[in-house]
Amino acid sequence: MFAPHESAELRSSGGPLTTQAPAVPRGALVVVAGLLLAAVIAGGLYWRLRGGQKLTVKDSILLADFVNTTGDPVFDGTLKQALAVQLEQSPYLNIVPDQTIRKALQFMGRTAEERVTGSVAREICERENVQAMLSGSITALGSQYVVALDATNCGTGDSLAREQVTAATKEAVLPAVGKAASSLREKLGESLASIQKFDTPVTEATTTSLEALKAYAAADEMRNGGGEAESIPLFQRAVELDPNFALAYARLAAIYGNIGEEDRSFEAARQAFDLRERVSERERFYIAQHYYFTNGDIEKEKENLESAIKAYPNDSTAFGNLALQYNLFYGQFEKAIPLANESSRLEPASPYGYLHTAIGYMAMNRLEEARSILQRAVDVKADNLFVHQLLYDLAFMNGDTDVMQRQMKWSDGKPSQYLLLNEATQAAAAHGQMQKAGELMQRSVQVSQRLGFKGTTAATLANWAVMQAEVGNASKARELAASSSALARGRSNLGSVAVALAMTGDVSRAPVIMEDLGHRFPADTLLHQVSIPCVRALIELERKAPEQATEALNAATPYELGTVQGRRSAGRRRRQNFRRSWTIAGLLRRLPSIRWPSWVWGELI
C-alpha cells in the first residue's frame, strides 16, 4: 500500500529511471478524478433506473393490452382482466382506470375500443402523466404457454421489472398470470408483508374458467363505455359459465340497482355476498357495500366504506359511494363534497365524483357551482345519462326550457331513456300539465317494458299513482297502484303504492303493505325509520289526527336533511295544515331505485 508513495519519492529525488512520463499538472488530475466519479455515479444511477427503480404509492401504472400470438381468442381481453384483478388487490399500486384510458383514446381521435399497446400506450401515458406502463404477452411453445410481463418507465422507456412464466396447459395460464403478477409487485417496491396479506390467487378472486372471465372482461369493457343495461347479457353469461363467479354477481347487483330492478339487484347482491370468501380483500369491500346497500343497512354500509378507504386510499369508488351516503341519507353536504372531489381526482374520467359534488352543491342551493361541476364532466367526456339527468334537474330549477330540451334530445334512443322521461313527467306535473305528464309517463313505461324491466316499470306506475292522488284523482291512483303491484312486489314500487292508497283514503291496505315490507327487509334503515313512519303519518292525516302524524314522523328526524328526503319536495304543497308530513312523505314517491333516485348511485365501477 506504500508503493505509490515510495515511487513518487524516487521520482522526485532524481534517481535513475528507464523511462519517465511527462509530468501531469495537479489541476488536470483533479478534473480527471471528478469526471471518473461522475461517470461512476451516472453509471450507478443508470443501472438502478434500469433494474431496480421502485414505484411509490403516488405513481400510476397503465395496463396495456396483452399481445396474443397463440391464435386462441379466449385470451383476448381475458389475461388483462386477470392481471388487473391481481394487481388491484395491492394498496400500494395505483392502476389507471379503464374509463380514463377510453377517454384518452377519444381525445386522441381514436376509437374507445382500439387496442392499447406500444406507441398508443406510451402516448396515453404522456397525456395522463402516468409514470409506468405494464405490457404483457402470451406465446404458444409447443403444448405450453409462455406469459411475459414487462414494466417500463413511461418517460425513459427503461425496464423497471420483468417476469416470465410458463404454463404447462391452457388451464394453467390464469394461475401463471397471478404468480407473475405477485412477483412483479415485489420488484416494483411493495413490501413482502403487504403482498402476503393481499394476494388472493386470481382463480379465487375471479374464476377458474377462461370463457367466463372473457365474458366478464367484455361486459366490463362495455359498461365502462357507458353501456350499463347493454352489459347485462354478458355478465349473465359469465355466471352461467361459472355459478361461483362472485365478482360478476356483484357487477349485476350494481347494474340492476342503477336501472331500478330492485328484486334482481337484491338477489345478485345476496349471491355475491354468499361467495365473498372467493374474492380478494378489495373486491370483498365492494361486494359487502352492495349487499348492505340493497338491504338498506346504511350504517353497516358506511362502516364498510370507511374501512375500504383506509385499506385502499387510491380507490375512487369508495370515496364516491361515501359521498353518496352523506348526500343522500345524512344531509351532511360539507362532508360529501370533499369526498366526491377526491373521487374525481383519483378517477377524472368517471362521472360519479362530479355527480356527487354537484348534488351537494344543489342541496345547498349553490346552483351555479353545481352547473359548473357538471359542465366540467361534459368537457372531459366523463358525462353519462346521470350527468344529463342532473343537468335537466338544474335547468328545471332555473326555468331553462332550452337546456331541458337539449338533455332530452341527448337521451333519445338510449336504453335508459326512461330515466329522463321520468324527470320530464315530474316537471310537467309540477307545472300542472297532467295530460302531458301522462303521455311522457307512458313513453317511459314503453321503453322500460321493451327492455324487460318489470321493477322499473312498476316503480314508474307507482310514482304516477302518487301524482294522480296529489291532484285528487283517487280512482286513477288506485288503478295505477293495482297495476304496479301486479308487476312487482319490491320496496321501490310498493312504498309509493302505499302512499297513493293512504292519500286516497285507503287506510286499511296501506299499513298492511308497509308491514309486509318491514318483515321482509328488517335491516332497512330508511324503510323502518322514514318510509313506514311517513305512511303512518299520512294515514293519521286522513283520520284528521295531525298530532299523531307528527309523533309518527319523529323517527325520520335524523334523516330529514338527506337529499332523497327533500328532492323536489319544495315544489309540492298540501292544503291541509301539516306541510312537514307532506314534505317528508315526498320521499316515497322518488323510489325508482331502491327508495332513492338512480342518478345518485355511485358504483363506480
Of 51-60, 86-95, 589-598, the range with the lowest mean pLDDT is 589-598
Of 140-154, 393-407, 575-589, the range with the lowest mean pLDDT is 575-589
What string of DSSP letters covers 390-412?
A: HHHHHHHHHT-HHHHHHHHHHHT
Average pLDDT on 494-513 reads: 95
Of 3-12, 31-40, 253-262, the range with the lowest mean pLDDT is 3-12
Amino acid found at 328 = L
User: Using an 8 Å Cβ cutoff, are 290 and 250 in contact?
Assistant: yes
Looking at domain 212-295, what is its CATH homologous superfamily? Tetratricopeptide repeat domain (1.25.40.10)
Does the pLDDT of residue 540 top 80, yes or no?
A: yes
More confident residue, 99 or 34: 99
How far from chain centre, in Å, is Cα 288?
14
pLDDT digits (tens, 9 = 90+) for 446-485: 999 998 999 999 999 999 999 999 999 999 999 999 999 9
Instruction: Record the pTM.
Output: 0.77
Q: Residue 564 has what pLDDT?
A: 53
How far from chain centre, in Å, is Cα 427?
29
Q: How many CB atoms lie within 10 A of CB 61?
A: 20
The distance between the two most distant Cα atoms of the chain, rounded to a whole number of Å, is 128
Average pLDDT on 541-566 reads: 80
Q: ∠ CA 423-426-430 to the nearest 5 degrees?
A: 140
Per-chain mean pLDDT for the chain: 83
Q: What percent of the chain has pLDDT over 70?
A: 84
Does the pLDDT of residue 582 top 50, yes or no?
A: no
pLDDT digits (tens, 9 = 90+) for 263-293: 899 999 999 999 998 888 999 999 999 999 9
Alpha-carbon separation of residue 176 from 3, 93, 145, 231, 278 (angstroms): 58, 20, 10, 28, 18
Q: So where are the chain's domains?
A: 60-205, 212-295, 473-605
pLDDT digits (tens, 9 = 90+) for 333-372: 999 999 999 999 999 888 989 999 999 999 999 999 999 9
How far from chain centre, in Å, is Cα 65?
22
Alpha-carbon separation of residue 350 from 26, 253, 287 (angstroms): 64, 19, 20
> Nearest to residue 254, comparing CAs of 226, 278, 290, 219?
290
- The cell numbers describing 422, all together, are 321520468
Does the pLDDT of residue 16 top 50, yes or no?
A: no
Cell 378507504 appears where?
309
Q: Residue 313 has what pLDDT?
A: 92
Q: How many CB atoms lie within 10 A of CB 172?
A: 16
pLDDT digits (tens, 9 = 90+) for 209-259: 999 999 999 998 888 777 888 899 999 999 999 999 999 999 999 999 888
Cell 381525445 appears where?
107
- C-alpha–C-alpha distance, residues 485 and 254, integer Å: 24
- The cell numbers describing 571, all together, are 315544489
Does the pLDDT of residue 106 top 60, yes or no?
A: yes
- The cell numbers describing 349, all together, are 374520467
Average pLDDT on 151-168 reads: 92
Residues 6+ apart with CB under 8 A from 8: none
Any idea which fold 60-205 has?
A: Rossmann fold (3.40.50)
> Nearest to residue 530, comparing CAs of 493, 505, 561, 489?
561
